[in-house]
Amino acid sequence: MSQHQLSDHQPEGGFSTPVGSRRTFFQWVTLAAAGVVGMGLAIPLLGSLISPAFTRRRLAWVDVGAIDELPAGRPTQLDHVTTTRDGWMEAKSRKAVWAVKHPQGEVTVFSPICTHLGCGYRWDNAENKFLCPCHGSSFGINGQVLGGPAPRPLDRLPAKVESGRLLVMYKDFKSGLAESIEL
Ligand code: FES
């Protein structure tokens, strides 16, 4: 192939410049640079889209009320709405917990589910204990089993007080086991 055939442009002075090849080279460089930038943007974006699928169910702290409004020494049922995030799914559900404010001010919060087979229980003021209507289990104010088939004490929920508000993290537990195992 002759020098004349390679040249797209023949300036005065006899130098030839392979303009077509240079253009192609710059096109490749531009494409490669765009590809690198594109990958740089796409990878974090892809990661943020995919990562929720691998994220374990996330529980949130929920404000269930003012700590001052809880009567000391008597369990109070507190209803609230809790949000659970599982991958891309977000679900809101109505929950209830039992909160006990002790005379010294500390608070214990119980799951509202009986540890025997999962029924809801209630506090009985006259008997001064929690009673489950399903199979007759009963629990003391500290959650201890007083009677019936319940295999373990009431399950405790994480709780904290911030700015005078009681915050609770709702969780579910397996029923019927001697050990408290979170679902
Ligand atoms: S579910 Fe409560 S005693 Fe059976």
Is 182 contained in some domain? no
Which ligand 1 atom sits nearest the alpha carbon of residue 148? Answer: 3
65 and 111 housed in the same domain: yes
Asked which of 34, 52, 70 is the last residue of a domain, the reply is 52
Domain count, the chain: 2
Give tens-digit pLDDT for 44-100: 676 666 665 665 667 889 999 999 999 999 999 999 988 877 777 888 889 999 999
Residue closest by Cα to atom 3 of ligand 1: 135
User: What pLDDT does residue 2 have?
Assistant: 47
Q: What domain range is 143 assigned to? A: 58-169
Is 39 contained in some domain? yes
Residue whose C-alpha is closest to residue 141's, from 158, 124, 157? 124
Q: How far is the CA of 37 from the centre of ligand 1 (A)?
A: 61
Taking the whole predicted model, whether its pTM rises above 0.95 is answered as no
How far is the C-alpha of 134 from the C-alpha of 130, rounded, in Å? 12
39 and 64 housed in the same domain: no
91 and 135 housed in the same domain: yes
CATH of the domain at 98: 2.102.10.10
Backbone φ, ψ for residue 61 (5° rounding): -75, 135
With tokens 């490669």, the residue in question is 32
Read off the pLDDT band of 120 (50, 70, 90): very high
Question: CA angle at residue 162 from 83 to 141, to 5 degrees?
Answer: 80
86 and 127 housed in the same domain: yes
Asked if residue 127 lies in contact with residue 139, where contact means CB atoms within 8 angstroms, the answer is no
CB-defined site of ligand 1, < 6 Å: 114, 116-119, 132, 134-137, 148-150
Probe ligand 1: pick from 116, 130, 145, 155, max atoms within 8 Å of CB?
116
Structure tokens at 3: 């020098």
Q: How far is the CA of 26 from the centre of ligand 1 (A)?
A: 76
Which ligand 1 atom sits nearest the alpha carbon of residue 114? Answer: 2
Backbone φ, ψ for residue 164 (5° rounding): 80, 5
Is 88 contained in some domain? yes
Residue 31, pLDDT > 50, answer yes
Element holding 25 (H helix, E strand): helix 19-50
156 and 115 housed in the same domain: yes
Is 180 contained in some domain? no
Residue 142, pLDDT > 50, answer yes
Residue whose C-alpha is closest to residue 154's, from 138, 169, 166? 138
Read off the pLDDT band of 28 (50, 70, 90): confident
DSSP letter assigned to residue 153 = P
Which ligand 1 atom sits nearest the alpha carbon of residue 118? Answer: 1
Asked if residue 140 lies in contact with residue 150, where contact means CB atoms within 8 angstroms, the answer is no
User: What pLDDT does residue 23 have?
Assistant: 72
Amino acid in the structure at residue 40: G
CB-based contacts of 148, cutoff 8 Å, min separation 6: 116, 132, 135, 136, 137, 138
